[in-house]
Amino acid sequence: MARTSLRWIGFLLLATFAAACQYATSNLADKKPTPAPSWPLTEVISADVSACEPQTVSGDSMVKTILGSNLLTFVVTGADGEECLFDYANETGTGYMQFSCRVPRSLGRVVVYQFDKGVSDIHGYRYGHQYSWDLGSQCTLSGCSEGTVFPADCSGR
């Protein structure tokens, strides 16, 4: 009698575990990816990093703040094996930030997009930029001016 009870308890535990695993798996399948921002993106500048030909590409991003517009510039210096080296500069008003970037040539094109948030954020910025590559991990800040819009990015100034 005791063995039969243990078998039933074991069977019930196994069935409960199987049902819980099935629920967890089906719950994961129902999750949807994070939606894209609701604001439309407009391409400002792009550069072909697959060819990685030395070139300079510039474009104006109309950031409608008191500072006026941004001049965005790529200066492609050339390839280093499977990576493309370029400098990316963001000049706003009297300030600028310059980044040195190293991206895989397999990206094809690197693009800077502009978006309009529809309202100004807490700092008064209505417009922003989005990048088709990882600016944080593939680029390093190589210089900025005292008039830089983002002073936290320029330590010691």
Specify the higher pLDDT residue, 33 or 54. 54
123 pLDDT more than 50: yes
In tens, the pLDDT along 64-77 reads 555 567 889 999 99
pLDDT > 90 fraction of the chain, expressed in percent and rounded: 34
Cα–Cα distance measured from residue 114 to residue 64, given in angstroms and rounded to the nearest whole number? 11
Q: CA angle 129-134-135, nearest 5°?
A: 60
Cα–Cα distance measured from residue 124 to residue 129, given in angstroms and rounded to the nearest whole number? 15
Cα–Cα distance measured from residue 141 to residue 97, given in angstroms and rounded to the nearest whole number? 7
Q: Are the C-beta atoms of residues 80 and 97 closer than 8 Å to each other?
A: no
What does the pLDDT average to over 119-128? 72
Query: What is residue 49's predicted lDDT score, i.e. its pLDDT?
Result: 95
Query: What is residue 78's predicted lDDT score, i.e. its pLDDT?
Result: 94
Specify the higher pLDDT residue, 22 or 118. 118
Mean pLDDT of the chain: 76
Q: Which of 106, 112, 133, 97 is nearest to 52 (CA)?
A: 106
Task: Categorize the per-residue pLDDT at 110 as very low, low, confident or very high, splitting at 50, 70 and 90.
Answer: very high
C-alpha radius of gyration, the chain, whole number: 26
Specify the higher pLDDT residue, 64 or 88. 88
